[in-house]
Structure 1
Amino acid sequence: MGTTFHGPSPWPHITRAIRTRGPRRAAIAHLGQDAPTLLPLRAGDVLIVNASRAAVRAHATSPIALAYYVDAGVRVLSSPNLHANVIATDRRAVIGSANASHSSTLADEAAVITDDPSVVAAVRRFIDGIEEITAVDQAFLDNATAQWQIGRAVPLPGVTSRGRADPGFLPATIPRMFLRHIVDYQPGPTEYHAWVTEARHRRGPAGPAAKYQLEWFRHDRSDSRLERGDVLIFVTADNEWIYPPAVVDSEAITILHAHGAIGHLLRSRADLSPIPVPDAEQILADLGHPNPRLRVDHRIASPSLRTALLQLWNL
């Protein structure tokens, strides 16, 4: 492999480089809520992160990501002085600027990946030598969740804010749209913890009145695999209400101890209300769609039907 430089979007290269056998050590300053999709660690790995009170209150390090790694068996440690972003596997080292967050994938970042044995050993020694570390356990997570809830997001490019302009609630070009019926289920402790922590309002480019919120969507891997930017429209199981669209805002996140189940974070507008399905069907019929199939799950392939559905909420 040698030594390679990657920028301004190094995360796909980093993720591939660290998918190796053997224990891995990572010192990543800040973690976004979807860090596990970028930094796939497993039981036996070591992760040091800056999960100090200041970092959590600033929404730079997410308790959701911390809980995910802890539940996966990763040894998670917090160091308030950590600012580096380095990873060491048995044979490779990654040295760069990128935090493990979606914001970092949008910022201009850089990383060097090498299999030089001396560099790999040096990175490993650096990680092992980090001082002032605290083990992240359940008590730590509970405190971090409380700090997150009373804190606020601080706009730091590549850490807690988008490095480029926010494209808005809906993608400029919607890759795919699906209609799904709501399925009731009892979330596990980790899901519930994440749900409560992240289901908060956000301000968006549509103005102060347009509030955003995050929610969980759980489904089986056998279902159509969702991607970031896909749009979902939900209907209640009794076909009584149709809900405004939600945008997939994360890659797939494996739900621990639930064979075959995965979850996604969805972003939705809290200022939009559901509509009775019969009323929606009548409006869609008036717009030229007498059979919109709102009572069955399906992928909405028709561009004109997509547009008509969004018009139900003046989107």
Structure 2
Amino acid sequence: MATTFHGPSPWPHITAALKAAGPRYAAIAYLDADAPTLLPLRAGDVLVVNAARAALRAHATSPAALAHYVRAGVRVLSTPNLHANVLVTSRRAIVGSAGASESSTIADEAVLVTDDPDAIAEARRFIDGLDEITEVDQTFLDNANAIWQIGRIVPLPGIGGRVRAEPEFLPTPVTRMFLWHITDYQPSADELQERDTHTARRRSAAGPATRYVLEWFRLDTPGGRRGGRLERGDVLLQVTADDHWLHPPAVVDSDAIPVPHSRKAVAYLLRTRVDLEPIAISDAESRLADLGHTHPRLRTDHRVVSAGLRAALLRLWNL
């Protein structure tokens, strides 16, 4: 077994080490448009990056690089708290300061490369244990490009401060919330194709567990009696048709998507957390009553106007 030190220009050694057979696992906090040359990942590999809003607006992570890896079949994931740079192959673990960027190739960087089995296993466990994970798909990339265009410098976790990034799930504050009954329907083949184009891919479970997923939500009467069209950032709580279960909050994560071959129907992508479970309507009503909301109207489709009720509904899931 051997452990070698490489610096101040370690990238040739990193790129060479990545030529090992089998899937590669990379946790690289920030990467620019040059990353695909430095980090030649392929289909079946896993890449975890910090592509949170702050990293994108600071131009620390490039949407173009993310898109390259997604097109190549790499499973790309984002977490807002990553600041480490760890690479794992079947034969080596690489740990150091080098980010996948042009600036890293001209800075004084350093890494350790080891073939110690225990170190390789620990590095893999580190990557698999990363949390607040979001799958990077086409919708994520569209949002990332829009954020990138803003292009102003913002604080990053681990750079110029000790602030840990908050999970990017609910808007702050929640000003628009809706309760909606789930409607059973049979989607057409064209709608299924449109849904597959937009929703997150269900691929290999290799790498960290995904905490957020995108779901398809169809609305046949947009702008109807429930309170108007949905907007990005709206919070939606869905109720089963039999009034038995209240599903956890979901956040609207897209503009309206026209449903093919329908007169008015549109769909939205909802961002949901996979760790939240539905609550029985009777239990929810009882807990809300304890909080002072004796008539929460959980069995009626409506916009939740009361800020107090919105907060109480989120407390059902400790949000």
TM superposition score normalised by structure 1: 0.48
> Which has the higher Rg, Structure 1 or Structure 2?
2
TM superposition score normalised by structure 2: 0.47
